[in-house]
Structure 1
Amino acid sequence: MTGDETAFGQAYGALARAAAGTTSAEVEREFFELFVGVGRGELLPYASFYLTGFLNERPLAELRADLRWLGVERAAGRYEPEDHVAFVFEVMAGLASGDVAGNQARFFDKHIAPWAGQFFDDLAIAPSAAFYRPVAEIGRQFVDIEARAFALAN
């Protein structure tokens, strides 16, 4: 994997280099330090936390209502709250691909734009982030690109 000269391409190339220079055990350990930890990880990747300072708050309830309207359900055996950054990005991917019928801009503006950029900024400077630093940059680039694209569409 290589990137190009764009900011997104450079982040993509950095992720490829990080992946080549680490082991799966090191990435698992980093994930644990960042998101699980002993007692708590360095970051809580949930909309509720970023928007209210607490878990399982109104942003989660609003997201669940919108997910019901979209016909999206949490997969069996998954126990993370739906406002986890990975889940909301998975829904956004479904909207973009057409697998989920709905308004991408509305979902982005309501459930990603208000907090995901700050999450990725925090991930980029987290003490344990090495492999996840370029992941943070890719996430930040995605949020910025989508925000500009949806603004142009209006």
Structure 2
Amino acid sequence: MENNEINSARIFVYEIIKEAFFCEPTYEFIDTIKQFITNVKESFDDSDSKANLIVDSFKSVFNELSVEDIQTEYNNLFVDPFSNNLINKNASYYFENKNFGKTLVEIRDFLKELNLARDLNYYEPEDSISFVSDLMIYLINKNGVYIFDEQVDFFNRFVEPFFSLFSEKIKTNEGAVFYACMGLLIDYFLDLERSYLNESITT
């Protein structure tokens, strides 16, 4: 694939991750996931067991759950403060065991180096999984050119370690069904991202 095609594919997956955890999923978002899973099935070799697991897991979920069920799951996992299955969406929680920790400060410093700041209308902190995904999208798109140093730095310092811990928390949560599939997708995507960024550095 050409760089611009890979770039578009990477952005698309980060957009999925961003939207999946930002707000209650809409019918349109679930349709996007269904089409994405169809495309994954058509694009990857049958011998790719991880891709097949993701496809089969999502298909099973869509056979069992309605959009309303998935919306209820979202609120149970990420909104309801009294839920026994509540999952924190902020990186500081996973690295410092508290919200608004050192990781949040480091990401804000990273933003300052880029002369960026969080939009005040964006209600989540800069270390939330949705904001981190959005920032990675910005880095990929920055000025319409590839700037790998910043992408690799941000991926290694924040994206990969945070997303890995977050994914594990989702996959082991007894209340997660659709979002357990999202955890599988995140794991698979991290492997692809790591390989792609490493190869880009060495070539």
TM-score range, shorter chain: 0.7 to 0.9
Aligned residues: 154
Question: Aligned runs of 1:69-108 on 2, under 5 Å?
Answer: 69-98=113-142, 103-108=150-155
- Are the counterparts in 2 of residues 94 and 100 from structure 1 also a CA contact under 8 Å? no
In structure 2, C-alpha distance between the alignment counterparts of 1:21 and 1:93, rounded to whole Å: 32
Q: Which runs of 5+ in 1 are unaligned?
A: none
Measured at CA, do residues 74 and 17 of structure 1 come closer, stay the same or move farther in structure 2, by a change above 3 Å?
A: farther
- Larger-Rg structure: 2
Match for residue 147 of structure 1 among 178, 191, 194: 194
With 7-16 and 64-73 compared, the bigger mean Cα shift is at: 7-16
In structure 2, C-alpha distance between the alignment counterparts of 1:135 and 1:56, rounded to whole Å: 25
Taking structure 1 as the reference length, the TM-score comes to: 0.83
**Cα deviation, residue 143, structure 1:** 1.6
With 94-103 and 129-138 compared, the bigger mean Cα shift is at: 94-103
The residue that corresponds to 2:54 in the other structure is 11
Q: Give, as a single letter, the amino acid of the residue that structure 1 aligns with 2:161.
A: P
With 13-22 and 76-85 compared, the bigger mean Cα shift is at: 13-22
- RMSD over aligned Cα atoms: 2.5
> Does residue 184 of structure 2 align to residue 137 of structure 1?
yes
Match for residue 86 of structure 2 among 42, 50, 55: 42
Q: Structure 1 runs of 4+ off > 4 angstroms?
A: 99-102
**Cα deviation, residue 19, structure 1:** 4.0
**Cα deviation, residue 14, structure 1:** 3.4
Q: Give, as a single letter, the amino acid of the residue that structure 1 aligns with 2:140.
A: A
With 40-49 and 15-24 compared, the bigger mean Cα shift is at: 15-24
In structure 2, C-alpha distance between the alignment counterparts of 1:94 and 1:17, rounded to whole Å: 33
What are the Cα deviations for residues 86-116 of structure 1, in whole angstroms up to 9, with x where unaligned? 2111211222234687521011011112221
Secondary structure at the counterpart of residue 115 of structure 1:
helix
